[in-house]
Amino acid sequence: MSLLSKLARLPESMRGGPGHHGAVSDHFDGARFFNPGAGAGRSFGDFLRWQRTRQATPWPQTRELPAPAPVTAALAADELRLTFINHVTFLIQSPGLTVLTDPVFSERASPVQWAGPRRVHAPGVALDQLPGIDLVFVSHNHYDHMDLAALKAIAGKHAPLFVTGLGNAAFLRQQGISPVVELDWWEQTSLRGAQLIFTPAQHWSTRGPGGKNRTLWGGLWLATAQHSVFFAGDTGYSPWFAELHRRYGSPQVALLPIGAYEPRWFMSDQHMNPDDAVRAHQDLAAGLSVAMHFGCFRLTDEGIDEPVRALERARVAHGVSAEAFRVPVPGETIRLRAAQSVSALP
């Protein structure tokens, strides 16, 4: 059977669409995207080596969390609310605009729901409890970031604008998810007076065989008249953080990944560890950083609580206070004013 015939038999969720076709750039060779100065995903041989030699710390099958407070839609005129739902999913509420990042609500981060990484806790906010959504940002096409079932449900109920990287729009439209705007690194669009910039990240993309790096990955810089939020997506530590600060200044809030980083020989190019995240916080000169990408799906070898413990050690080592780099509980809402005072809602 030919490769094309085999690919045609893959589940639709694994095909990833036609990819991107366009001009060569400093991160696109005409067929596939790459990271300037760094790798873009490990080889299959490296993956087999990891599986053969891994020393994974066991995770609990389930973890009970406190019941979160209900999410409300009413905000003060200068208020920003960040509700951590799970993994990389944040509800970002500002006056006139509600944004959802990488909505992941399925039981497994996988092309099938009978195998693959399974969540150990429920989302902090249920899918049917979301307030009206204006914009959904999809950082890239990995299963723990592009959850098609959740995106379809949100599209059907809320009819938001979807913003993502080059090559993803055609695939999402094939799945009945629209309207979609796709952007290259540094490109921007706007919605309801907010500026949305697709920012570089050091990562990679695929949903199945033959689709590696045919679509672009990145983060989001969201700027309103009163607030600025940086959502890093998935990324290794890189010079991009200092470049973002040079271009756009200090974000009021940076949402930074701290988990899925062991073993370092395999993961360092694509996933920050907590020490990397603290250095990214300092490069950005963020007013507040909030941890994400931990404690929901077992994706790599570190224990479920190790990212939080390692973040505490890294903060102390770099002289960063606990108030400056926070670890939210799923369902927790962090409230900020334009003057950058921060409080947690009960």
Q: Which helix (H) or strand (E) holds 81?
A: strand 79-86
Cα–Cα dist 61/298, whole Å: 10
Q: Residue 69 falls within a domain, yes or no?
A: no
3-class DSSP state of 274: helix
pLDDT in tens, 84-129: 999 999 999 999 999 999 999 999 999 888 888 999 999 999 999 9
pLDDT of residue 8: 52
pLDDT class for 2, splitting at 50, 70, 90?
low
Q: Residue 20 falls within a domain, yes or no?
A: no
**Mean model confidence pLDDT for the chain:** 92
pLDDT class for 16, splitting at 50, 70, 90?
confident
Q: Residue 213 falls within a domain, yes or no?
A: yes
Q: Residue 157 falls within a domain, yes or no?
A: yes
pLDDT in tens, 66-87: 887 788 878 988 999 999 999 9
Count Cβ atoms within 10 A of the Cβ of residue 308 and give its class: 0-12 exposed, 13-18 middle, 19 or more buried. middle
3-state secondary structure 114-182: CCCCEECCCCCCCHHHCCCCCEEECCCCCCCCCCHHHHHHHHHHHCCEEEEECCCHHHHHHCCCCCEEE
Cα–Cα dist 292/296, whole Å: 10
Q: Residue 140 falls within a domain, yes or no?
A: yes
**CATH at residue 190:** 3.60.15.10
pLDDT in tens, 191-219: 999 999 999 999 999 998 888 999 999 99
Q: Residue 26 falls within a domain, yes or no?
A: no
* Conformational region of residue 142, where left means phi above 0, alpha means psi within -120 to 50, and beta covers everything else: beta
- Please list the alpha-helical segments (H only) found in the chain: 3-8, 12-15, 44-53, 148-158, 169-174, 240-248, 264-267, 274-284, 306-318
Name the residue range of residue 120's domain: 78-337
Q: Residue 36 falls within a domain, yes or no?
A: no
What is the β-pairing status of strands 325-326 and 79-86?
A: unpaired
Section 302-313 average pLDDT: 97
N- to C-terminal Cα distance for the chain? Answer: 58
Cα–Cα dist 217/236, whole Å: 12
* Joined tokens for residue 32: 């596939």
Give the number of domains in the chain.
1
- Whether 346 has a pLDDT exceeding 60, the answer reads no
Q: Residue 24 falls within a domain, yes or no?
A: no
